Structure 1
Amino acid sequence: MWRVLFLCMLAWPALADTVWLNNGDRLSGTIILMDGGKLVLDTTYAGRVVIDWKNIQTLSSETALLLRGEGVTAERAQRLQAAEPGQVRLLGETPRTLALRDINRAVPPRQLVDDLVWEGNLDLKLDIEREADDTDELKIKGDTRIEHGPWRHLLKGELEDKRKNDAQTKDNWELEYDLDRFFAEQLYWRSSLDWQEDAMEALRRQRSIGMGPGYLFWDDELGRFDMTLMRNRFRLEGEQRALTFDTWSLETDYQRLLWGTRVELYGNAKLQMPDIQQIDYVLDGEMGLRYRLNSWARLSLLYELDQVRGLGVTQSQRRYLIGLGVGW
C-alpha cells in the first residue's frame, strides 16, 4: 500500500504546468495565458510570474489551451508536451510539433464559445462621518467589456448618493453603452449611447448619441490602449428649458498591469468640444490604481477630474476616492 502512495506522490508534480527556460531553470504552476510576448504563470510560491516568451526553451501544460499564431488558428490542445529547444508538442486530435516563435497567444478556452472575452470591475466607496455634521456618502462605479469575434461591447455605470444631516445633497447616476465593430485588427467603428440623471441640479437629464472611428494601439494580457474620435448629438433637459447641440469628442482608455499583474494602473478621459459659443470644452477624466488582494478582490485608489471652460472661465472639480471592489 505504501508503494502506491509513494508512486502517487511522485506523479503529483506532473499535474502542474511546467516551463523550461533557456538558462536551465524550470518553473511549475498554472499557465494563465500568453499574449504580447509574455507568459503569465500562477505559482504557489511566488504568485503570478510574468516570463518573456523569448526566454522559454519549451513547456508543458496539463490543461487545455487555445493557441493562435503563424499557421495556428484557434487550435484547442488537450495538453502541451515538452519538445526540443524552441519547440512544443501539441497533443490534440492530430498531434504535431510547433515552433514557439509561431505561437503568439495561448489562453485557456472559454466556456460557451472559445473567442469570448468577458472582464470587468466594480468599485465601492463608502464614507461615513460623525463629527460636527453627520455625512453619509455612497459611490459605486462599474465597467464591463465583452468581446466576441469582430464585436466589442462596453458598459459603464456610476451611482452617487450623499446625505448631510439627513438632507440629500447628491443624487445622480450615469449609464453608457458602446458598441465597437472591428474592420481590421486595430481599426474599429464605435456607436455610443450615454444617459445621465441628476436630481439635485438645474439640468436634470443629459442624453447623447454618437459614432465615429477608433484605433486600438495594443491589447494583450498586460494591458490595452485605444483612442476614439466621435461626432455626438447632445440634449440637456431641465425643469425650465432644454438645449440640443452637437459636439466632437476624443476618448481614450488605458490599462496596464504591473508587479507580476498584481497592480493595475488604469485611466480614461473624454474631451468634448461643443458647437456652441457658451462652452469651449468639457473634460471628464480619471486615473487610478487597483491592487489585487486575491483572484477577485481589489483595493482601489482613484483620482477624478471634471473640468468645464466657457466664456473665459474654467471650473474644475477634483475627487480622490479609496474603496474596495471586485474584478473578473
Structure 2
Amino acid sequence: MLSRTLMCLAIASASTTALADTVWMKNGDRLTGKITVFDGGKLMLDTPYGGSIALDWKQVKTLESDQELLVKQDAYTGQKAKSLKAADDGKVVMQNGEAPKTVELASIQQIIKPKPVVGDLVWKGNIDAAVDFQRADSDTDDYNLAFKTSARSGRWRHTADAEYNRETTDEVVGTNNWNAEYALDRFITDKWYWQGRVNVKRDFVEDLSKQRTVGTGPGYQFWDDELGAFSLGSLLNHSTYEYADGDKSDFYSVGVKWAYNRFLIGKTFEFFTNGEVGKPLSGVADYSLDSEVGVRYKVTQWASLNLKYEKDMVTGSSNADLNTSRYTAGFGVAW
C-alpha cells in the first residue's frame, strides 16, 4: 500500500512538472511556473510559490513551455510556436509542426499568448476608486468611482462603462455627476467592426444637466493582445441636450472615438487613454470632448494604484458651455 501511494505521488509530481513551464537562469537557478508574457526586458513567470515573478531577460539561459505562444522578433510580425524547447545557452527551439527552429533569445522582442479571432468568451475589466478627505479651515470630501468591462465571444463584443463623481466643500456640493455607456460591436473582418452605442450623462450642478446620445458607425481594431489594445471608431450620433433652465436641444453630430492601453515593463505599468471628440452638424455647439488619460501600477496580479486626468468640454453652446477637468489618484482592481 505504501509503495503504491508513493508511486501515485511520484506520477502526480511528474505530471505537474511536465505541465509547468521551465526557465533556466544563467546563475544556475531553475524556475517552474507559467509564462504569461515577455516584454520590456522582463519575462513574467506566474508561480504557485511566489506569485508573478519578473525575470531579467538578459539573465535567462534558456526556457521551455508546452503553451502555444506568439514569438515576435520584430515590432510588427510574429510566429506562433506550439511549444518551446530548451536549447544551448542563449537559445530556444520553436516547434510549430514544421521543422524545429532555433532562435537566439537576444533576437526575441516579445512573447505573448495569441488570441483567437473567433473563440471562447474573453472577459476583462477594471474598477477604480478614489477618495480624498481634507480637514482644515474648509472641509472637503471628494469621491470618484469608475467601472469598465468588455466581453467578446466570436464576432460580438460588448462594452460597458460607468463613472460617478461627487465633491463637497463645507457640505456645499461643487461636483455631482454620473455617466454610463453601453456599446455593441460586430466584427465584420478580423480588424473592421460596426458599433452601436448608447450614452447617458447626468450633471446636478452644471447648467448642461443632461446629455443623451445614440450612435452607430464603423471602427478599426489595430491590435488587441496580452500587452494592450488600440481601436478607432467613427460615429453618426443623435444627441439630446437638456439644460437647467428647461431648454432642450436635439441634433445630429459626427464623432471619433479612441481606446488605447499598453502594458509596460512586464505588465507592471499600464498607460491608457479613452475618449471621443464630436462635431454637431447644426449650430447647437462648436464641438464636444470627453476624454481621460492615466497610468496604473500593479501592486498584485489583481490590485493596482491609478492616476487619471479627465477632460469634459462642450464649447460654442447657445445655452451653456461645459468645461471641467479632474485629477484623481486611487486604488483599483482588474480582471
Per the alignment, residue 77 of structure 2 pairs with none
Per the alignment, residue 197 of structure 2 pairs with 192
| Letter in structure 2 aligned against 1:326 | V
Per the alignment, residue 329 of structure 2 pairs with 322
CA RMSD of aligned residues (A): 4.1
**TM-score w.r.t. length of structure 1:** 0.75
Per the alignment, residue 147 of structure 1 pairs with 152
The 5 Å alignment of 1:224-243 reads: 224-238=229-243, 240-243=246-249
- Which secondary structure state, in structure 2, belongs to the residue aligned with residue 175 of structure 1? strand
- Which secondary structure state, in structure 2, belongs to the residue aligned with residue 86 of structure 1? strand
Which of these residues, 39, 46, 67, is aligned with residue 42 of structure 1? Answer: 46
Q: Give the distance between the partners of 2:290 and 2:315, measured in 1 at CA.
A: 12
| Letter in structure 2 aligned against 1:162 | E
Unmatched 5+ stretches in structure 2: 72-81, 103-110
The offset of 1:257, in angstroms, is 0.3
Q: Give the distance between the partners of 1:290 and 1:121, measured in 2 at CA.
A: 11
Relative to structure 1, the CA distance from residue 68 to residue 300 in structure 2 (aligned partners, 3 Å threshold; closer, same or farther) is closer
Indicate whether 1:123 and 2:128 are aligned: yes
The 5 Å alignment of 1:308-319 reads: 308-310=314-316, 316-319=323-326
Indicate whether 1:32 and 2:36 are aligned: yes
Per the alignment, residue 263 of structure 1 pairs with 269
The offset of 1:218, in angstroms, is 1.2
The offset of 1:185, in angstroms, is 0.7
The offset of 1:34, in angstroms, is 8.4
Q: Give the distance between the partners of 2:259 and 2:56, measured in 1 at CA.
A: 23
**TM-score w.r.t. length of structure 2:** 0.74
Unmatched 5+ stretches in structure 1: 70-76, 90-95
Preserved CA contact (<8 Å) 2:155 2:187: yes
- Which secondary structure state, in structure 2, belongs to the residue aligned with residue 215 of structure 1? strand
Paired residues, what number? 297
Q: Give the distance between the partners of 1:42 and 1:305, measured in 2 at CA.
A: 37
Per the alignment, residue 78 of structure 2 pairs with none
For residues 101-142 of structure 1, the C-alpha deviation after alignment (integer angstroms, 9 at most, x for no partner) is: 9xx974799xxx962111111110111111111221111011
Preserved CA contact (<8 Å) 2:249 2:284: no
Preserved CA contact (<8 Å) 2:214 2:238: yes
Preserved CA contact (<8 Å) 1:87 1:99: yes
Which of these residues, 223, 236, 258, is aligned with residue 252 of structure 1? Answer: 258
For residues 7-47 of structure 1, the C-alpha deviation after alignment (integer angstroms, 9 at most, x for no partner) is: 969957556312579xx997532133689xx9853354972
Relative to structure 1, the CA distance from residue 262 to residue 67 in structure 2 (aligned partners, 3 Å threshold; closer, same or farther) is closer
- Which secondary structure state, in structure 1, belongs to the residue aligned with residue 127 of structure 2? strand
Per the alignment, residue 22 of structure 2 pairs with 18
For residues 272-314 of structure 1, the C-alpha deviation after alignment (integer angstroms, 9 at most, x for no partner) is: 1012325221112211110111011110011122233328999
Relative to structure 1, the CA distance from residue 199 to residue 305 in structure 2 (aligned partners, 3 Å threshold; closer, same or farther) is closer
Q: Give the distance between the partners of 1:225 and 1:263, measured in 2 at CA.
A: 17
Q: Give the distance between the partners of 1:219 and 1:98, measured in 2 at CA.
A: 29
Relative to structure 1, the CA distance from residue 98 to residue 246 in structure 2 (aligned partners, 3 Å threshold; closer, same or farther) is farther
Bigger share in strand: 1
Q: Give the distance between the partners of 1:254 and 1:234, measured in 2 at CA.
A: 25
